[in-house]
Amino acid sequence: MEVVLLGTGAADGWPNPFCTCESCADAARRGEIRGQTAALVDDVLLLDCGPEAPGAAVRHGRSLATVRHILLTHAHADHLGPQALLFRSWVAGGDELDVIGPADALDTCRPWVGPDDPVRFVPVEAGDSLAVGEYAVRVLPARHTVFRDGDAVLYDLSGPGGSRLLWACDTGMWPTEWFEAVRDARFDAVFLEETFGDRSELSEGHLGLPEFGTLVDGLRGAGAVTPDTDVVAVHLGHHNPPADILRKRLQQVDARPGRDGEVVHVGEGTPVVPHRTLVLGGVRSGKSRHAEELLASCPSVTYVATGGTREGDAEWAERVALHRERRPGSWSTVETVDVAEVLCTATEPLLIDCLGTWLTARLDIHGVWDGGDLDPVHSDVDELIAAWRKCAVPVVAVSNEVGSGVVPATSSGRLFRDMLGRLNARVAEASEAATLVVAGIPVSLKRN
C-alpha cells in the first residue's frame, strides 16, 4: 500500500497560528508546517477527510478524482470536513463513493451530498469487519469521544497484497483487554496519534509522549508491532517539544514523527525512495536534516561521513555529535573519503554527507592547493560518478550549493566553487531526484 500523509498535525496544526511558544517558533523557523492529519491510500481510499485534506492532496501533487472510499474515525471538525462531498458533486460523472464511519459522523455528512451524487453511507462500530473494495477493514474501539462513547473508532486495514496498517487517530490510552483485538497482527505500519507531548493531562482522549510509548509497548507485547513495523507519530501538536527533541524522544520507542507530504510504502520491505537523490543547500539551510528525513522510514541506513575527524577542533566535534544524536539508533556510520568504494559495496541505503567535504579531501590529497595537477581529481570525480550510477541501493547525497553567493576572493576559493558546481551538475544528471533546500524548505528540482 502506498500511503500519502496529507497532514500530520493536530486539530490546530503545528505551529498553532496564534502561538509564539518555543515549539511553534521552532517549527515556523524550520518551515515544518503541519496540517490536520489525514492520509490517502493507493489514490483510492481516504483515511479521515478534514477540511484541509482536499487542498493538501493537490499541494502534494495528488488528485482525489479516483477516491472510492472514505474511512472516517469520528465527527470532530479536523477529521471530517463534509463540504468536500458537495465540492465533489460539482464535478460531472462521479463514480460511486463509499463513506464509512460511526453513525454520528455519517449523519453530519448526509446534508452535503449532491442530489444525484452516487454516495453510499456505511455505518460501522467497533468490532465490525467488512470488505471495502480490495481492502479488508476491521473496526477497532477508540478511547476518544465526540459526544458519547463509541462515536470514534480506529481502523485495521489490510491491502490486496497482504500489507497491513493500523490507523489510530484519535485514540487515547487503551485498556489492557483492547490489545487482544490486534494480537499477532504484525502490522507493517502503525500511524498513531501523539498530540500533547508532556501535557498529556490535557485530555484522556489523546496521547502524550509517555502514553504513546506505553501504547507502543503494549502493541509490541501483543505482537502487533514487530522490529520491522514502521511506527509513525501523527496528530502532532505544539505541546510537543521542538522537532529535534521530539525525534529523539520518539526514537526511544523505535518510532518517528511523520511529515506532511511523506509517502510511506507499507509492506514493501525497504521503503521506496528515488534510487539516487541529490540534496543541495547553503550553509545551515537544513539540507542534512532533509536528507535524513528522506530515509527516516528505512529500517537501517549507513551514514557516510566524508569529513573524517579533526583532532583538536571542538566546534567540529560538536557539529558531528549533534548530527549523530538526531539519527536513529539503527543507523551505522562510516567515516571515509573513499566514497566510490562504499557506493560499489553497499548492501543497505546510504546517506553521503557531504560531497563538498569529499571534494576538499581529494584536492588536499592531490596537493592541488600547492599547485598540484588537477587531472587526478578529475579521475576521482569520474570514478565517483561511475560508482554513483552503479550503486545497487537507494542513496542520498548532500552537497553545498556554492554558485549563488559572492565571487570568492581567492583563486583557491574560485577553483573549489567551480569544481563543486561541476560535480553537483554531474551528480544531478545521474540522479532520479534532486532537491534544493532553502531556509529549511525543500524545493524539488528534478523527479523522474
Among 60, 275, 323, 378, the active-site one is 323
Contacts of 311 by beta carbon, 8 Å cutoff, 6+ apart: none
**Cα angle 313, 314, 318; round to 5:** 120
Q: Would you list the DSSP string of 329-394?
A: TT-EEEE-S-HHHHHHH--S-EEEE-HHHHHHHHHHHTTGGGT--SHHHHHHHHHHHHHHHH--S-
Tens of pLDDT along 38-54?
Answer: 999 999 999 999 999 99
Mean pLDDT of 342-364: 91
Closest by CA to 100, choosing from 83, 125, 81, 78, is 125
238 is catalytic: no
Give the span between the Cα atoms of 311 and 317, in whole angstroms.
Answer: 9
How remote is the C-alpha of 246 from its chain's centroid? 14
Amino acid at 98: D
Confidence category of residue 209, pLDDT binned at 50, 70, 90: very high
Tens of pLDDT along 239-261?
Answer: 999 988 998 899 899 899 998 98
Instruction: Flag whether pLDDT at 269 surpasses 80.
Output: no
In order of their start, the domains of the chain are 2-265 (3.60.15.10), 276-444 (3.40.50.300)
Element (H, E) at 389: helix 375-390
Confidence category of residue 327, pLDDT binned at 50, 70, 90: low
Maximum mean pLDDT: which of 197-206, 255-264, 324-333: 197-206
Closest by CA to 129, choosing from 163, 106, 153, 96, is 153
Mean pLDDT of 308-324: 58
Question: Residue 323 has what pLDDT?
Answer: 57
Confidence category of residue 116, pLDDT binned at 50, 70, 90: confident
Give the span between the Cα atoms of 192 and 5, in whole angstroms.
Answer: 12
Instruction: Flag whether pLDDT at 308 surpasses 90.
Output: no
Give the span between the Cα atoms of 369 and 380, in whole angstroms.
Answer: 16
Element (H, E) at 303: strand 302-305
Instruction: Flag whether pLDDT at 423 surpasses 90.
Output: yes
Tens of pLDDT along 357-411?
Answer: 999 999 988 888 777 788 999 999 999 999 999 888 889 999 999 877 777 778 8
Give the span between the Cα atoms of 32 and 382, in whole angstroms.
Answer: 37
Element (H, E) at 399: strand 395-400
Mean pLDDT of 161-187: 95
Tens of pLDDT along 435-446?
Answer: 999 888 888 888
Question: Residue 367 has what pLDDT?
Answer: 87
Mean pLDDT of 322-336: 73
Confidence category of residue 330, pLDDT binned at 50, 70, 90: confident
Closest by CA to 251, choosing from 329, 175, 313, is 329
Mean pLDDT of 116-128: 95
Instruction: Flag whether pLDDT at 32 surpasses 90.
Output: no
Q: What is the DSSP letter of 224?
A: S
